[in-house]
Amino acid sequence: MNNVDFTAMQRQLTPSSQARAALEARLASAASRRRSSRWKYGLLAACIALALCAAPLVRQYVAPQHAVQSGTQGGISYEEYAAQEGTLTLPKLNIWDTQPPSESSANSYAAGEGVNRDAVQSDLEALLGGSVPGMLDWEGLSDLWGYLAFGPPKGAKEAVQPPLDELFYGHFYASCDWGKFTLMVGGLGTTVSPDVIGRPEDYPGDALTVIDGVEVRAARFTDADGTSYGEVSFTMKSGYSVFYSVNAPSSQQTEELLARLVQLAVVEEKLDPQALTPEGTSSNTGDAPAQDGALPYEDLMAYFSAQYGPDCYPDWFAGAWLDSVSGNLVVALAEGYDAAPLEQEVREAAGDAVTFSTARYSYAHLLSLQDQIDRRMQEEGTAYASWVDVMENRVRLELDASSSDLLAFLARLDPAGDAVQVTEGSAPTTDACYDTLPGAD
């Protein structure tokens, strides 16, 4: 493989000669039409120019604006989500018995050509923007020990020095009054390799979901020696990736967290729940309800995929999730359809342990809205997160700041104002960490 020339391979990826010929014919035809009706386009261009000139005034005084909530008031926090899911207290994370990382484990991985120094608690808090520690019940932190490493990754091809925040890696060992754990934080453009936590190559599966604007990935795998591991990772709005290594299932709190993440992941990502279930421990992890409903959910998704195509959903389907109390699958049907035959269809696909609700918007419609929002947000250049909240039957959009143009766009996209929930100003900041970087101007 070392001698595989990807550039040479890329050069061979050419369209067929028939496709090229057909394209040239279509282009010639389009050009001909364009020439013959050039005056029409001139007129159209003049109209557009006039409209564009007037657009800002129209937008300012006429165009409706989509409602936006403050990040401190609107939206749903992780704690609220946990409460809604039936858990009153958020499980603490990751009590496990480990040893502090060696200096070389940080240095050898990330920053052979950079700057390394000891980390202090304020580094971590600054890097995480105050979000994760609170979310994970960070109270009682008594000690933090580790290394920060800055600079190009070891073995990087290019010696060009990018911005410091693109080349950050931190390896932290922390202890508090309820346990010890290790976490790793990687900056933009820096790989935090699962290898650091001894992850084998053949992990059985993982899943991604979004909680409170944070992407969360949960994975469970078994090492070559039979030791079970769990991994929880977050990609923060700040761009930093956070990996928690979750050790053998001796800690109930660890298992609670994994079970919760699995439950979310199964709903959002059609994950195989068996792949993430700790072997022999499912009876005491509290995630049995999630497992009960997960298989019908998968059956339903497989049915949709076979019936309508991959990632395609019928217009009557408004979403599905697992009820945290009963563990049953809940399927929402879009309003305006005859429920009886659809409920029968769902039961035939997913079994009888399904309950139903109704919702205004179809899941396909919400996905379409999210897609349009994502495309628009590329032009906005602001940090954001979007996802379909099936339980609320709406698209959730969180962003640093909104513009009047964006809110007008969202108002056109969601004229009723209930299909998209916009939350502003909720992204965590990492500005404080730059003051602590050695050598930073």
Interface ranges with other proteins (CB under 8 A): 1-2, 4, 6-16, 18-20, 22-23, 26-27, 30-31, 155, 166, 186, 188-194, 201-202, 206, 215, 217, 233, 235-236, 239-241, 308-312, 371, 374-375, 377-378
How far is the C-alpha of 437 from the C-alpha of 441, rounded, in Å?
9
* Of 26 and 412, CB closest to other proteins: 26
Closest approach of Cβ 323 to other proteins, in Å? 28
Closest approach of Cβ 167 to other proteins, in Å? 12
**Bridge partners, 84 (sequence order):** none
Closest approach of Cβ 336 to other proteins, in Å? 19
Q: What is the 3-state secondary structure (H, E, C) of 264-319?
A: HHHHHHCCCHHHHCCCCCHHHCCCHHHHHHHHHHHHHHHHHHHHHCCCCCCCCEEE
* Of 19 and 50, CB closest to other proteins: 19
In angstroms and rounded to an integer, the radius of gyration of the C-alpha atoms of the chain is 26
**Bridge partners, 331 (sequence order):** 320, 356
Closest approach of Cβ 155 to other proteins, in Å? 7
Closest approach of Cβ 324 to other proteins, in Å? 27
Tell me the CB-side half-sphere exposure of residue 34, using CA atoms within 13 A.
6
Closest approach of Cβ 187 to other proteins, in Å? 8
How far is the C-alpha of 8 from the C-alpha of 2, rounded, in Å?
14
* Of 239 and 286, CB closest to other proteins: 239
Tell me the CB-side half-sphere exposure of residue 278, using CA atoms within 13 A.
26
* Of 13 and 325, CB closest to other proteins: 13
How far is the C-alpha of 390 from the C-alpha of 361, rounded, in Å?
10
Contact call for residues 217 and 207 (beta carbons, < 8 A): yes
H or E, element range at 339: helix 339-350
* Of 208 and 353, CB closest to other proteins: 208
Closest approach of Cβ 217 to other proteins, in Å? 8
* Of 23 and 51, CB closest to other proteins: 23
* Of 330 and 361, CB closest to other proteins: 361
Neighbours of 139 (CB within 10 A): 11
SS3 390: coil
